[in-house]
Structure 1
Amino acid sequence: MNLMNAHLPEDLIWEILLWLPGRLLLLLRTVCRSWNSFISSHEFVMHHHQRSTQPRLVYCSLESEGMDIMQCSVSSLLYNQLQPTRIDPLQIKYKSIQGSCNGLLCLCEGLPYKNLTLFNPCTRWVSLIVPFKYPHGDDRHPVFCGLGYDALRNKYKFVTCSKISGGLGSRAIVCTLEANPSWKTVDHPMFPYFTWCHSGTFVSGTLNWIAHDPSKNHDPFRVLEYFILTFELITESFGRLRLPKNNHTHLGFFGRLRNHTHRGFHEDVPSLHVLKNFLSVCFHPAYDNTAAYTIWIMKEYGVEKSWTIVLRIPFNGRIITPGNWLEPLYMSEDYILLAYGEFYRGKLLVYNFRKREVVHPMIDISSDSLSIYPLSKFSYGKFFHVYHESLVSYFP
């Protein structure tokens, strides 16, 4: 039935189409010009992305240079425990994935970066390659980076920061990705900061990184205190948010009382994610049998009082043990967690909070093309991102 000619209210047609998966909408665009115009409109594309219920897990591997980036269905990993999940190549050769936003992946080549590419795995749209420009010839290794969306100007921006030669100061470079890319250097007195998460977490119009001030790290006995470094895409300005005070306090080396501060070991550093569409921070304190792995979400972005614990996994030796770490990838509306980490030989796991149950999703071996460390056996040496299918496929 032709919805556009069925004498249905336009708002009802809108609602019907919003619930359809992106790949089906790509086919429906070819029905007629009016359908193509309707489905391709910026307003529809953005509303459809907000409603998207098709999360996909995408990853590349340290061993896969020159090979395809791979992807699979998150829903299949979470709920289809009887049939193996199929792994599909994205038909685009390996480049590092340095951020995702509105269903787009930001692919970077080289380190320091030589060029940037935006890629939509759903539509298979690939942007023109954007050569990366370093002001004043500064091509040192970036400290952090990320892809974000400026909703006011309808622009995608890539933000990166590199050290200034001979000093502790840093500067950020903002590339506005459009037909004629523009570059801007943003200096801020808040620098220098050291960040633990290289690729920024995009949520609520901001990019976010876990950071600490290295200038306060001269004392080897000092406990590092972490915070969230933020970058507002519209104003192109930096800020900071405090981490939640983890309810579990414990003693570190030398018997010092610790709460949401950390010694700086890898397994102690909190990590940032987007879970249930909220900014999320995950604590995994090390070497303490009485502790628990905790996941917090910020229910109202920027309001530090809105930090709320949504998941706590005790260190009981069955799910996670002290000294190991857990990295969440996705949390469903019914609180089923997809994660990977340094346990169970580095395999993916699905944790059902209500059932207190851990399962390992089956992977279709025939479609898992990585020869040295296939996903069906290991999650080591892989870089994961979760995106929701969208129809975004153009420079505004």
Structure 2
Amino acid sequence: MAMSKAKYLPEELIIDIFYRLPVKSIGRCRCLSKHWRNFLSDPQFIKLHFNLHAHTQEEKLIIVSWLCELHTITLSHDILEDAFIDSISTKVDFQQLTHNWISVAGSCNGLVLVIDRDNVQFLINPTTLEYHKFPVFDWALPPKTSCYMYGLAYDIVSDDYKVVSLSYRDTNNEFMSNTYVDLYSVRKSHWETLGISPYDHSLTDRASGVLVNGALHWLACRTFEYSTAIAAFDLSVDKFLEVPGPIDLQDNCFMCNLATLKGCLCVSTSLPRDINTVTFWIMKEYGVKESWTKFKIIEPSLDDSLSTLLCSITDDDDVLLDVDEEWVIYNLKENRRKDLLIDVNPITHEARTFVDSLVSPYFGNETEGSASKDSTKTQHHIFLHPQIKSLAMRRPNGHKRIEIARNQNQTNLQVTFSKRRVGLFKKVSELSTLYGANVAIVAFSPSNKVYACGHPSVESIVDKFVKENPPPDTDDPNPLL
């Protein structure tokens, strides 16, 4: 009986429930009402929702198949004692785009940077199926005769997602070549040329930037002494810095690759002389040379082939290896190999991890020229399932204009007050949640019952108001009015 009398949930409870819902449930709720859609699409809500779920989200893989299609890979939780791990692959299908992908070049906060055969860059959210096509840019080098590398990162200083592009001439020789640096701001929807890199990136493996500690990292060569360095592009100052590498990195830099392992920068190598062995170093304390720690995976089943450490995929010491174009999950703690079974053929070295999120790929620039007639401007697209789209586009019955006048019916008066009180308290909750405002409201019902709502509390707000606005010395019974 008590439950049947409760017609409304407290607004703060509804908001708290929203924060705890998974991403796909939020997507469904967005389609139920315009008010919910506006609130659940608010950048502040999206940021808080992501921060709440960031460390509990299950990581997935995203790959490009040999058919130039994008697929997400979810690992099975039912990991048996067999020598394999099953997985579920899902094709990422954008109805407005053709399947012409060649590279997954970066991942950050649920957003993924993908490149097509025409060297056109797209920032996508594989979960919400939103995508953002980058505008046309006058590159320093022609894409068809040059090599390009990319990296995606979030700049906490400017609250912006940025893409770094490195390009050099594809000369196929051993002479150093200038590497040009370009920077794209997602918030500004704008490319910017930064000049020539102080490092030569043409003599190392062509790879995407590795995001660690707010910087994008590449293996490169110092131009003045022809030696290997770890070049880190700092997003806060938009320039390259150098991270100290392992002591013995110089001898085998051309057979190395960078990756992340449990959030730490990692260098791995598998040389022909190291039979059945993958050697890697982990920088346990970022920027500290002495913190590099060397590890080895010695596994006879590696079949003496070159192996590449692609990424870490769980918090349980599992890493993903590319072993002679076959993917292997190796547990560093148990020293055990498991083959990863997937039903698509991936392009090697192109696995990226990502998490489900609500972050929009046209982050912060929805109103900055998106409706311009200029064809080079950014294009924004949101995909809705046809059934959900039809539900969301249903025409409402409309609202009748209500004359503002005191209700003379006592029963209706109490009901109307209850509804209006819920709306007022909702506004208080939104002000405090979205904008961090300190606010309080006290209301007396027609039956003289008091209701109060505030953040951080009604008492603290009233005390602060009284202290900063002391009542005047007067006989007026209502000195604060």
Q: Please state which band the TM-score falls in when normalised by the shorter chain.
A: 0.7 to 0.9
Give the Cα–Cα distance (whole angstroms) in 2 for the partners of residues 284 and 18 of structure 1. Answer: 44
Q: Which runs of 5+ in 2 are unaligned?
A: 365-481
RMSD of aligned C-alpha atoms? 3.5
1:170–1:353 distance in 2 versus 1, CA, 3 Å? closer
Give the Cα–Cα distance (whole angstroms) in 2 for the partners of residues 296 and 6 of structure 1. Answer: 53
Alignment check: 8 A CA contact 1:329 1:340 kept: no
Alignment check: 8 A CA contact 1:22 1:390 kept: yes
Alignment check: 8 A CA contact 1:70 1:90 kept: yes
Give the Cα–Cα distance (whole angstroms) in 2 for the partners of residues 275 and 77 of structure 1. Answer: 23
Matches within 5 A, 1:1-396: 6-7=9-10, 14=16, 20-32=21-33, 35-47=36-48, 48=50, 50-61=54-65, 63-65=66-68, 68-74=69-75, 76=77, 84-92=86-94, 93-96=99-102, 97-110=104-117, 113=119, 115-135=120-140, 140-163=145-168, 168-178=177-187, 181-187=189-195, 190-194=198-202, 195-213=204-222, 216=225, 225-245=227-247, 259-263=248-252, 269-289=255-275, 292-309=277-294, 312-314=296-298, 316-318=299-301, 320-342=302-324, 346-363=325-342, 368=343, 374-375=344-345, 381=348, 383-393=350-360, 394-396=362-364
Tell me the matched-pair count. 343
Higher deviation after alignment, 137-146 or 121-130: 137-146
Give the Cα–Cα distance (whole angstroms) in 1 for the partners of residues 216 and 257 of structure 2. Answer: 14
1:8–1:354 distance in 2 versus 1, CA, 3 Å? farther
Greater relative CO (CA pairs within 8 A, separation 6+): 1
Q: What secondary structure, in the 3-state scheme, does the structure 2 residue paired with 1:390 have?
A: coil
Give the Cα–Cα distance (whole angstroms) in 2 for the partners of residues 43 and 294 of structure 1. Answer: 43
Q: Which runs of 5+ in 1 are unaligned?
A: 218-224, 246-258, 369-373
Give the aligned residue type for 2:251.
H
Alignment check: 8 A CA contact 1:69 1:89 kept: yes
> TM-score by structure 2 length?
0.62
Alignment check: 8 A CA contact 2:269 2:308 kept: no
Alignment check: 8 A CA contact 1:21 1:54 kept: no
Q: What secondary structure, in the 3-state scheme, does the structure 2 residue paired with 1:261 have?
A: helix
Q: What secondary structure, in the 3-state scheme, does the structure 1 residue paired with 2:274 have?
A: coil
Identity %: 23
Q: What secondary structure, in the 3-state scheme, does the structure 2 residue paired with 1:187 have?
A: strand
Question: Which residue in the other structure is 2:475 paired with?
Answer: none
* Larger Rg, first or second structure (1 or 2): 2
1:34–1:163 distance in 2 versus 1, CA, 3 Å? same
1:110–1:312 distance in 2 versus 1, CA, 3 Å? same
Give the aligned residue type for 2:219.
I
Give the Cα–Cα distance (whole angstroms) in 2 for the partners of residues 155 and 128 of structure 1. Answer: 16
> TM-score by structure 1 length?
0.73
Q: What secondary structure, in the 3-state scheme, does the structure 1 residue paired with 2:286 have?
A: coil
Q: Deviations over 1:21-78 (max 9, x none)?
A: 32122223345566545543334433426335121111113x314xx31111145496
Query: By how many angstroms is 1:91 displaced?
Result: 0.6
Give the Cα–Cα distance (whole angstroms) in 1 for the partners of residues 41 and 290 of structure 2. Answer: 40
Higher deviation after alignment, 27-36 or 76-85: 76-85
Q: Deviations over 1:225-270 (max 9, x none)?
A: 432111111211111112223xxxxxxxxxxxxx3223465xxx22
1:286–1:18 distance in 2 versus 1, CA, 3 Å? farther
Give the Cα–Cα distance (whole angstroms) in 2 for the partners of residues 116 and 391 of structure 1. Answer: 20
